[in-house]
Structure 1
Amino acid sequence: MSSSRADQRPLKRQTRILPAPIAPSSSSAPDIKPTVTGPVLDDNQTLPKRPRIGVVVACDRCRLKKIRCDGGRPTCTACSRKGFSECHYEEPSAKNPNAGYLVEGIRLLLSMSPSQATAALLAVGDMERDVEIIAALQGMASSPTRQTAYITGPSSGFARFLERKHPISYPIQEPMSPREPRNSVIQLTAPGSTIYQDSESTPMDLVEAREEETESHANVSRIADVSSKSQHDPTKLDGLNIRRWTNVAVSDHFAARAIFLYLETDHQLLFPFNRKLFVEALLSPGSNPYCSPCLVNALMYWCCQKLAFVDQEAVAKADLFRREAEKILNTDSKQLTALNMAAEVFLCLGNLLQGKDDTTVSHLANAAAIGVNMCLFGVPEDIGWATLSRLTPEEIQASMYPTWGAFNWIVLMSLFYKQQGIIYPDHPPVMPIPHSVLGPLDQTEDLQNQTIGTGYEKAEQVPEQGIVFTSLCRFWRIMHEVAAVYHENRPTFVQGPMSLQFAEFKYRELLAWADDFPPSLCRSEENPESMIILRLWLHSAILEIFHPFLRNEITLESKQRLRTFSAANATPDDAYNASIQQLKQLILVSNSYTTSRYNIIWQTALLYAANGMLRSRDEDRLEYFLICIYSFRRMRHCFRITVSIAQAILATAMQQGVISGTLASMIIADLRARAPDGQEPGERPTHAPLIADLDSVMTDPAGMSVVQLAGELDDSYWINRYTGLFNEASQSVEPKPLSSISEVTG
């Protein structure tokens, strides 16, 4: 009974529903009228609905609480009851009448790629009318030709994926006018060029009217930009007494200017010695472990080549310093020191770019042998750490920079220049990577457990050049294994043939390395040239990694995709093309630096970009190919080898049918007319161990060298002149060969 009673109880929080009243019957019920408090209605009438208050806009307080508002001014009834003295109303006129345009504009921008959206925003930045802005955005979103008028850069899905996931390695490219690369060609070829004077049909005619050069030759012949942007005071070398270090008759001012020019350019990338300690030792009397006559003479050999850009007398002085350095090395051949290793690096670099003697490889081999024999690199880690623990703090300071500088240069020569016949180190250095100018060492215990650089740097902030070199050391440590695996005649520590999985793993390592860049290394307009070269080397390395796997009729692996990337079209070809697009813009940026005219360290990227243009299908490939050719040519006053490199690349383009024989003939005539002083127009270097044709280097490395291809250019030139063979052969090559710049610039 109790349970049934409980079931009959009304539920809490529910209103009991009363039964409807029964209408009284006229016959059975007394004439009783119900009591009604409201108006009396007839049987056919219903109660009217409560009228809705006509409020256009509720006050902000009522709207927020979602309560009824009568719209009273200055205070609505609800707010007045709560004690508020005034209400705030959003007037209809305050709303954006063009909100629809804003939504449509955002929709159009979201439909574009990030680089296209950036270019579109810049294009409509000066427009004021909403209708014009929307019309312009609609045209850019729907018309491919309209987009290319504002955009240059990768368009593949994988490139956009890389821009999103790895913006440091693949920043969204700045919008560029299609005329910009053409203007760069004009500036590179304009001053005193016989290519425009001695032929009836010239590339300048095909590029439209000749434009005035933006910089006068007199302004170019100064290195003021280096001094003005320098963080160091050049007067610190005023006390130099060069006669203490060399028997070559040069003034102290000449030597100070040459060394300062090197310290402000190449040193930030090579770092074969500690800058501060070297300068202090250079200016101080007495012997010390941070400077030696051999190193000074080898350094001056390299510095004089760079100084030839502004002082032609430096060319003759350079060879005198080389002989002096080699004489000292031959006398002290049994002395294994880090300074001698650094001197060998400078001699290798100088001989390589002069291309007049065959000792380039021997100096590189000597540097590698010194490092291995001193157990600085190329030995197992346990041996390396045992050697390091026996060094004094001063010896560690004197050896750290030469060790990493020599190791980096050996890997660079083996990877990019495909050098054979050297002792390639099996292992990277165990020496900690230096961060900056070193101060006194307090202790050397437990070196192996220290963080890289900890205990070797001062408390102050690491300067930019130290950050760049630190990143480069890690970069070459990654690429060390690539050079060992990709090129034969190496003491291999990685068993098995090249595989796409290995290439993808190294690609991932490079992307992770770049993702860890400090903010100062991120791309910006204020970047010094050393940071631009660092990026040029990065994308050149990516091209080297994926080059064996590019799509062709023979390679089967080229059809495979990169499995660790979620992008659907992640293939070696897409990764290669994405880096080519980055290289193209970086080369334009690098050419804007005056130092690019005498800083040849970045020329590796020119070789890779030129080879990339030979297989490219981009409409601007000819312009960028010519930029690479003439970027080499304008360094001819400093480095004799650059003209031969340009000729070798040109020969490769002719043989592959990429450019017509007519255009090639005009460029050949111009290159020969601009031969360096003291070099005959047809003279070629006796030895230049550089590879020009990267497509065929795996099958015929000797035949693809600069000297071999530069020699074949003569044969190709005369054959085409009398038979037109290359003009006919090039017509059957796809894509269509470019015989004029007007085909791409219109």
Structure 2
Amino acid sequence: MDRKYVLLLPAPTPPPGDAASTPPLASEVAHIQKRRRVGGSGACHNCRRRKTRCDGQQPSCQSCLSREEECRYKDDLNQTDGVLVVETIRLLNDRPPEAAVQALAMLKHVDDPASIMSHLRAEDGMDFALPEQPSDRMPISGALPACMVALELQTQHPFAYPPLSPIDIENPGQDLQRLLKSCGADFPGHPRPNANPSQQAPISYSSAIDPEASDLVNAFCTEAETLWETQRIVPSTVNMAAALFLSFGYLVQGKDHNVLAYMPEVVRMGTELGLFGVEQAVAEARMDKMTPQQLKAASHTTWGVFNWIMLMALFYYQSDIDYPHHPPYLPIPEDDDVSGVGPSQGPGPDSPRYVGDTFPTVCRLWRIMHEVAMAYGQDRSTPIRDRMSLEFSEFKFRELLAWTDNLPFELVRSEQSPHHVVIFHIWLHAAILDIFRPFIRRHGQAKLRLRTFSPPMSSPDQIYAASVNQLKRLIIIYRLNHESSAFTIVWHTAMLYVANAVLQDPGDGDWLFYFLLCIYGYETLGRCYPVVEAIMGALLSMAIRNGHMTSDSAREIWAELKSKGPRRAPQVIHATFMADLELAMDDPSAATVENLAGMLEENALMDQYTNFFEMDGL
């Protein structure tokens, strides 16, 4: 019987003169040269890079012929390439397992063997050269996952679950000390107010917000609403984008009643225009009538709107919005022009690079998650766990993993990752938490088992914990490396989800560190966005209610946050999105930011009276 598996032990030494006595390197090169794909050669290098369909014709596919490009296939290895491939394998085998995993993650989408070797060799010859990771400089205790499921994820899917070196919170390094000082607190003990302005984070907040601009917000909103009333009767991609920006602007201002008024208008226009929420035939008929320029504009707008709607559906539980029943059928915008007329029509020289990398990747993320959003949100009167199967959730998770295994090279996490790449990974792991949150074991419930993982006791709880650990590290990475953490609110999902996770996990010994890291991360955003004050109040209210924090500690932190925040005219905050993500599955109205922030003082008084009676033995 022919062998179908790699030998785990060396083969017996062949007798002299046997064909197998060929030098190992030469025989391996010959083996590589002989390997050909049966029944077709697959996509060429250019089509793989663009992620476009390839007809597989040799010596040149039709796409490369039309672009007048050299067409090369993965199996077209000359002897020099084969030698480099074998040497690459040898170099990887010589490295420690963790270093080899990181190397493969960094080099997975590099097609040229010589380029791979340039990464694996340092200038002096054979040293291993990889971009430095934040974890290389910051040892954190307890972050290295102990369960086998997490280890399996790290080894088999390192793009989504890169290995995390431990961080020692008790003895933080210089970078982590700087981050702790920005929080104005001592860790891991009791937080204290920081009255010394020189100990604030070394970020210039004056560039994040113009103090005079806040006075213009209401005037701007009034003018925008007036213009909207005259334009809303005409469905167009421009008006869709306008309604989206209005809804986002009102959300961060703490005016959710306006958000819930504009979001349905966006969905209505998109459906009337046949851009999403319709059957494929309707969408294709609409696209056939567009010019290439119109198609390009419609694709960018429609997918941008769809991404925002999915964020609202999954992360904000806004059940009052009628979400699209189908993702857009328009092509996802790429580096090249969506009309297919060639790269010359793509983003211009002044377009940011992430238009061609991060944006289409985010579009694909939400296209995968659309089915989850529709399935979980279709009937909130019944618990998700009672009407959905774990098999469905595990399948969607596997779909995400398979997709992340082929992420573009620019989307792999590294020290040099731009802020939008970090935000993409935040959204990815937040989406994974949303997939498995309904199936996390609660008190009195049986522990569920996953079917597609090697460890026999694999459970949703372990996947959940692995993604929480990734989010914890992403918060540290983002706050250390990106000034935008002080004014870009789209990353706050990480803080909201981590704060929820540590407050629900009684066994997390580092809960206070990560909880305050989130609270003070919100504090920096509060300088720009009024709604953040309500979020901080809601999280402190949850900490008191869950017994994690005394009323005195919470009041001390709350007083410090209020003193450091901007002085604004009193206003009513309407924030109907979820703060308590677990409670949201059973009682969404009680789990909102607005409701929990309003209960901060009530929970503090309840805690104070409870402690008083306990101390008196009553």
Q: Counterpart of 2:441 in 1: which secondary structure?
A: coil
Q: Report the equivalent of 1:660.
A: 550
Q: Report the equivalent of 2:302.
A: 403
Written as runs of structure 1 = structure 2, the 5 A alignment for 1:329-478 is 329-356=228-255, 358-436=257-335, 438=337, 457=346, 463-478=353-368
Written as runs of structure 1 = structure 2, the 5 A alignment for 1:55-70 is none
Give 1:416 deviation, angstroms: 0.5
Q: In structure 2, give the amino acid aligned to 1:187.
A: K
Q: In structure 1, give the amino acid aligned to 2:524.
A: R
Q: Counterpart of 2:583 in 1: which secondary structure?
A: coil
Q: Report the equivalent of 2:432.
A: 542
Give 1:512 deviation, angstroms: 1.4
Give 1:553 deviation, angstroms: 3.0
Q: Report the equivalent of 1:713.
A: 600
For 1:262-286, what per-residue CA distance to the aligned partner results, in whole angstroms no more than 9, with x for missing partners?
xxxxxxxxxxxxxxxxxxxxxxxxx
Q: Output the CA distance in 2 between the equivalents of 1:367 and 1:540.
A: 24
Q: Output the CA distance in 2 between the equivalents of 1:697 and 1:491.
A: 11
Q: Report the equivalent of 2:45.
A: none
Q: Output the CA distance in 2 between the equivalents of 1:368 and 1:184.
A: 44
Counterpart of 1:220 (choices 179, 184, 204) is 204
Q: Report the equivalent of 1:103.
A: none
Q: Report the equivalent of 2:400.
A: 510
Q: Counterpart of 2:576 in 1: which secondary structure?
A: coil
Where structure 2 has 5 or more consecutive residues not aligned to the other structure, the ranges are 1-15, 18-92, 103-137
Give 1:630 deviation, angstroms: 1.3
For 1:476-506, what per-residue CA distance to the aligned partner results, in whole angstroms no more than 9, with x for missing partners?
00111111111245899x9x92110011011
Give 1:725 deviation, angstroms: 5.9
Q: Report the equivalent of 1:203.
A: 191
Q: CA 1:544/1:180 → structure 2, altered by over 3 Å: closer, same or farther?
A: farther
* Counterpart contact for 2:232–2:239, Cα < 8 Å: no
Q: Report the equivalent of 2:522.
A: 632
* Alignment partner of 1:602 is 2:586: no
Q: In structure 1, give the amino acid aligned to 2:413.
A: R
Counterpart of 1:173 (choices 158, 164, 171) is 164
Q: Counterpart of 1:161 in 2: which secondary structure?
A: helix
Q: Output the CA distance in 1 between the equivalents of 2:240 and 2:348.
A: 30
Give 1:388 deviation, angstroms: 1.0
Q: How many residues align?
A: 483
* Counterpart contact for 2:337–2:344, Cα < 8 Å: no
* Counterpart contact for 2:244–2:266, Cα < 8 Å: yes
Q: Counterpart of 2:548 in 1: which secondary structure?
A: coil
Between structure 1 and structure 2, the one with the greater Rg is 1
Q: Output the CA distance in 1 between the equivalents of 2:368 and 2:452.
A: 19
Q: In structure 1, give the amino acid aligned to 2:611.
A: G
Q: CA 1:728/1:457 → structure 2, altered by over 3 Å: closer, same or farther?
A: farther
Give 1:442 deviation, angstroms: 7.0
Q: Output the CA distance in 1 between the equivalents of 2:380 and 2:368.
A: 17
* Counterpart contact for 1:375–1:384, Cα < 8 Å: yes
Q: Output the CA distance in 1 between the equivalents of 2:224 and 2:348.
A: 37
Q: Report the equivalent of 2:575.
A: 688
Q: Output the CA distance in 2 between the equivalents of 1:151 and 1:693.
A: 25
Higher mean Cα deviation, 499-508 or 567-576? 567-576
Give 1:694 deviation, angstroms: 0.8
Written as runs of structure 1 = structure 2, the 5 A alignment for 1:211-250 is 213=199, 215-216=201-202, 219-221=203-205, 223=207
Q: Output the CA distance in 2 between the equivalents of 1:188 and 1:429.
A: 43
Q: Counterpart of 1:659 in 2: which secondary structure?
A: coil
For 1:19-50, what per-residue CA distance to the aligned partner results, in whole angstroms no more than 9, with x for missing partners?
xxxxxxxxxxxxxxxxxxxxxxxxxxxxxxxx
Q: In structure 2, give the amino acid aligned to 1:636.
A: G
* Counterpart contact for 1:411–1:480, Cα < 8 Å: yes
Q: Output the CA distance in 2 between the equivalents of 1:459 and 1:595.
A: 25
* Alignment partner of 1:152 is 2:51: no
For 1:137-181, what per-residue CA distance to the aligned partner results, in whole angstroms no more than 9, with x for missing partners?
xxxxxxxxxx99766332211111110000000001144332449
Q: Output the CA distance in 2 between the equivalents of 1:611 and 1:491.
A: 22
Q: Output the CA distance in 2 between the equivalents of 1:473 and 1:114.
A: 27
* Counterpart contact for 2:436–2:460, Cα < 8 Å: yes
Q: In structure 2, give the amino acid aligned to 1:478.
A: I
Q: CA 1:214/1:562 → structure 2, altered by over 3 Å: closer, same or farther?
A: same
* Counterpart contact for 2:314–2:373, Cα < 8 Å: yes
Counterpart of 2:474 (choices 550, 569, 586) is 586
Q: Counterpart of 2:318 in 1: which secondary structure?
A: coil
* Alignment partner of 1:568 is 2:456: yes
Give 1:687 deviation, angstroms: 1.2
Q: Report the equivalent of 2:183.
A: 189
Q: Output the CA distance in 2 between the equivalents of 1:588 and 1:434.
A: 31
Counterpart of 1:310 (choices 209, 228, 239) is 209
Give 1:386 deviation, angstroms: 1.4
Give 1:215 deviation, angstroms: 4.1
Q: CA 1:150/1:705 → structure 2, altered by over 3 Å: closer, same or farther?
A: closer
Q: Output the CA distance in 1 between the equivalents of 2:354 and 2:340.
A: 24
Q: In structure 1, give the amino acid aligned to 2:160.
A: S
Percent identity (aligned): 36
* Counterpart contact for 2:154–2:161, Cα < 8 Å: yes
Q: Output the CA distance in 2 between the equivalents of 1:551 and 1:692.
A: 20
For 1:112-160, what per-residue CA distance to the aligned partner results, in whole angstroms no more than 9, with x for missing partners?
9999xxxxxxxxxxxxxxxxxxxxxxxxxxxxxxx99766332211111
Q: Output the CA distance in 2 between the equivalents of 1:726 and 1:110.
A: 56
Q: Output the CA distance in 2 between the equivalents of 1:383 and 1:687.
A: 38
* Counterpart contact for 2:145–2:466, Cα < 8 Å: yes
Counterpart of 1:703 (choices 587, 590, 606) is 590
* Counterpart contact for 1:371–1:377, Cα < 8 Å: yes
Q: CA 1:725/1:712 → structure 2, altered by over 3 Å: closer, same or farther?
A: farther
For 1:707-733, what per-residue CA distance to the aligned partner results, in whole angstroms no more than 9, with x for missing partners?
10001102122344466369879x9xx
Give 1:316 deviation, angstroms: 1.7
Q: Report the equivalent of 2:132.
A: none
Q: CA 1:659/1:378 → structure 2, altered by over 3 Å: closer, same or farther?
A: same
Q: CA 1:486/1:391 → structure 2, altered by over 3 Å: closer, same or farther?
A: same
CA-atom RMSD in angstroms? 3.8
Written as runs of structure 1 = structure 2, the 5 A alignment for 1:20-35 is none
Q: Report the equivalent of 1:612.
A: 501
Q: Output the CA distance in 2 between the equivalents of 1:160 and 1:399.
A: 43
Q: Output the CA distance in 1 between the equivalents of 2:156 and 2:352.
A: 28
Q: CA 1:728/1:376 → structure 2, altered by over 3 Å: closer, same or farther?
A: farther
Counterpart of 1:497 (choices 387, 398, 414) is 387
* Counterpart contact for 2:257–2:574, Cα < 8 Å: yes
Q: Report the equivalent of 1:323.
A: 222
Give 1:698 deviation, angstroms: 1.4
For 1:348-393, what per-residue CA distance to the aligned partner results, in whole angstroms no more than 9, with x for missing partners?
1110111146211111111111111111000011111111112222
Q: Output the CA distance in 1 between the equivalents of 2:153 and 2:590.
A: 36
Q: Output the CA distance in 2 between the equivalents of 1:149 and 1:648.
A: 28
Q: CA 1:507/1:165 → structure 2, altered by over 3 Å: closer, same or farther?
A: same
Counterpart of 1:530 (choices 415, 420, 424) is 420
Q: In structure 1, give the amino acid aligned to 2:594.
A: V
For 1:459-485, what per-residue CA distance to the aligned partner results, in whole angstroms no more than 9, with x for missing partners?
999933421001000000011111111
Give 1:659 deviation, angstroms: 2.1
Q: Output the CA distance in 1 between the equivalents of 2:472 and 2:177.
A: 14
Q: Output the CA distance in 2 between the equivalents of 1:379 and 1:528.
A: 35
* Counterpart contact for 2:283–2:329, Cα < 8 Å: yes
Q: CA 1:114/1:517 → structure 2, altered by over 3 Å: closer, same or farther?
A: closer
Q: Counterpart of 1:634 in 2: which secondary structure?
A: helix
Where structure 1 has 5 or more consecutive residues not aligned to the other structure, the ranges are 1-63, 66-105, 116-146, 224-308, 444-452, 732-746
Q: In structure 1, give the amino acid aligned to 2:397.
A: Y
Give 1:596 deviation, angstroms: 0.6
Q: In structure 2, give the amino acid aligned to 1:715.
A: E
